[in-house]
């Protein structure tokens, strides 16, 4: 879901995958795998993508807060749905940690 959202935002800005990859310091192939959902994205990379696209991380991750139009099928242990949910859990943990760090930074600036 995140990869698709990033792709939509990239296309809206008329950037190629190679342009984004160059700006964030990764290969075009790795970036393409992120957009295609093959590779997960780190919080650091997500932040860099957001900066290049001139959006917030929240603009990208908002797709995760939307209600899916189709219910997920339950698969056997280790299936692709489980991997997706594991990745989402990891993402939300990183998102929570990022928000705490932002709050701490704002408190130390005061």
* Domains in the chain with CATH codes: 2-109 (1.10.260.40)
> pLDDT of 47-91, one tens digit each?
999 999 999 888 888 765 554 444 444 444 455 666 777 777 777
CB-CB contact of 53 with 5 (8 Å):
no
Neighbours of 2 (CB within 10 A): 20
User: In what helix (H) or strand (E) does residue 46 lie, and over which residues does it extend?
Assistant: helix 43-53
- pTM of the entire predicted model: 0.58
- Give dist(CA 21, CA 29) in Å, integer: 9
Residues 6+ apart with CB under 8 A from 13: 53, 54
For residues 19 and 15, what is the distance between their CA atoms, to the nearest angstrom?
A: 6
């Amino acid at each position: 879901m995140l990869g698709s959202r990033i792709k939509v935002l990239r296309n809206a800005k008329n950037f190629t995958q190679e342009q984004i990859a160059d700006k964030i310091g990764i290969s075009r192939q790795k970036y393409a795998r992120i957009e295609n959902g093959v590779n997960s994205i780190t919080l650091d990379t997500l932040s860099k993508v957001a900066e290049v696209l001139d959006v917030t991380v929240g603009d990208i991750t908002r797709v995760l807060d939307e209600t899916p139009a189709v219910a997920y099928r339950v698969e056997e242990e280790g299936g692709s749905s489980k991997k997706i949910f594991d990745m989402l859990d990891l993402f939300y943990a990183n998102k929570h940690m990022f928000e705490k760090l932002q709050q701490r930074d704002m408190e130390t600036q005061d």
